[in-house]
Amino acid sequence: MSIRIDGTNTTANPGITGGDADTGLQFGTDEVSIVTGGTERAKVDSSGRLLVGTSSALTGSLSQFSKLVSLGNSLNTQGAYVSFGYGQAATSLSSGADIATINFTDNVAGQFASIRCDADGTTGSGDYPGRLVFSTTADGASTPTERMRIDSSGRLLAGTSSLAALGTVNAYSNSGIPGLRAVGGSSMGLGSAAMAVDKHANVSTTSQVFMVFTVNQQATGCGRINANGPSQAAFGTFSDRRLKENIVDMPPQLENICRLRPIEFDYIESEGGGHQTSFIAQEFEEVYPDAIGEREDGMKTLTGWGKTEAILVKAFQEAVEKINALEARLSALEGGAS
d(CA 226, CA 224): 6
Listed as ranges, residues in the chain with pLDDT below 50 are 1, 59-67, 74-76, 87-88, 165-168, 170-173
pLDDT tens for 238-269 read 999 999 999 999 999 999 999 999 999 999 99
Would you tell me how many other CB atoms lie within 10 Å of the CB of residue 224? 17
Supply the pLDDT for residue 41: 86
Strands (E), the chain: 4-5, 16-17, 24-28, 31-36, 39-44, 50-52, 67-72, 78-84, 98-106, 110-119, 130-136, 145-150, 156-158, 209-215, 220-227, 233-236, 263-266, 275-278, 292-294, 300-302
pLDDT of residue 108: 66
Closest CA to 24 of 46, 15, 56: 15
**Global pTM?**
0.60
Tell me: the pLDDT tens digits for 17-71?
887 888 999 998 899 999 999 988 888 888 777 777 766 665 433 333 334 555 5
